[in-house]
Amino acid sequence: MTFTGLYVPMITPFDASGSVALDALASLAHQAMDAGAAGLVALGTTGEPTTLSETEQREVLDVLTSVSRERRARLLVGANSIEALRALDKRPDVTAALCLVPPFLRPGGAGVLAHFTHLTQARPVPLVAYHVPYRTGQQLSADDLRRLADLTGIVGIKHAVGGIDTDTIDFLADIRPGFAVLGGEDQFISPLLALGAHGGILASAHVATADFVQLIELWHDDDPARARALGHKLAALSAALFAEPNPAVIKSVLHAQGRIPTPAVRLPLLPAGAEATRAALQRLDDLVSVPR
């Protein structure tokens, strides 16, 4: 089972009372599937999971599980501990768990490998590692990444290192069969796909799902000229959507489109400014000029 294509890490929309807007969440998930996404991600960082109560987390997961089952789509769920992984044992529709490299402690490559080895011992589902060193503080070398990929039970990685560095190039030159590299750095997804990534977990795809699906297909179909043209446009869109802390601008754009009831985020995040929203909407409009 190799994960390919686009996976949308779902936001958590809120209504005017501050409650989770579950109907809007279901609509967004169906829209993503209608536009060609391969699957959804529940309770990832884009969904503001640390601000949700246990009841809200369960409700969000119930909604996205239902959509995934109905659409026969893959569902990844953010889970970073043995306890969180064991809780997925009661959810047979979950395809894989998205597990963050241990943050803040910086245990080194050997410590990261030991941590994931420990997680795999209790896994009810396969694991996708989430490597985002500018958030966790933990760098991993190409050799570390290859050793991680060799662990039984680890089926892929969300790779978000802030750009295209030498370790990324080295790692992508030698990927074991069956292991998926999913880009998680929205602005750099096009060059990552050009180097051999299998797909992406991309928050920007909330507002341009079909375009990101097409970008992945163009690189996989060996159509670099069209892929580069679309990739440049999508990189500009992603830069605008991440101009303020994620997912504030994405929520503001979705609200402007009438797709969610409010643009609200929960503290410590703040709502996106009007100028950032206007800039992102303009970048979205620019996509219509890209040849299809």
What amino acid positions are annotated as catalytic residues? 130, 158
Q: Confirm if 95 and 75 have CB atoms less than 8 A apart.
A: yes
Question: Which tokens hold the place of 149?
Answer: 């990929």
Query: How big is the CA angle at 87 (ends 82 and 90), to the nearest 5 degrees?
Result: 140
Q: Confirm if 71 and 30 have CB atoms less than 8 A apart.
A: yes
Question: Which tokens hold the place of 84?
Answer: 């969180």
pLDDT (average), residues 205-216: 97
Q: Whole-angstrom Cα distance, residue 194 to residue 174?
A: 14
* The predicted structure's pLDDT at residue 124: 83
Q: What is the DSSP letter of 122?
A: T
* The predicted structure's pLDDT at residue 219: 98
Whether pLDDT at 7 is above 80: yes
Question: Which tokens hold the place of 203?
Answer: 């928050």
* The predicted structure's pLDDT at residue 287: 85
Mean pLDDT of the chain: 96
pLDDT (average), residues 123-149: 95
**For 37, what's the count of Cα atoms within 13 Å in the CB-facing half-sphere?**
31
Whether pLDDT at 109 is above 90: yes
pLDDT (average), residues 100-128: 94
Whether pLDDT at 1 is above 70: no
Structural domain spans, the chain? 5-221
- How much is the pTM? 0.96
Whether pLDDT at 168 is above 90: yes
Q: Whole-angstrom Cα distance, residue 1 to residue 156?
A: 10
Q: pLDDT digits over 36-71, tens only?
A: 999 999 999 999 999 999 999 999 999 999 999 999
Per-residue pLDDT band at 290 (split at 50, 70, 90): low
Whether pLDDT at 188 is above 60: yes
Whether pLDDT at 288 is above 80: no
CATH code reported for the domain at 5-221: 3.20.20.70
Long-range contacts of the stretch 167-174 (C-beta < 8 A, 24+): 167/139, 167/140, 167/141, 167/142, 168/142, 168/192, 168/195, 169/195, 170/142, 171/142, 171/145, 171/146, 172/196, 172/197, 174/146
Per-residue pLDDT band at 286 (split at 50, 70, 90): confident
Per-residue pLDDT band at 197 (split at 50, 70, 90): very high
- Tell me which of 121-135, 152-166, 200-214 is least confident: 121-135
Per-residue pLDDT band at 289 (split at 50, 70, 90): low
Provide the CA 185 distance to its chain's centre, in angstroms: 9
What are phi and psi for residue 194, nearest 5 degrees? -60, -30
What are phi and psi for residue 172, nearest 5 degrees? -70, -15
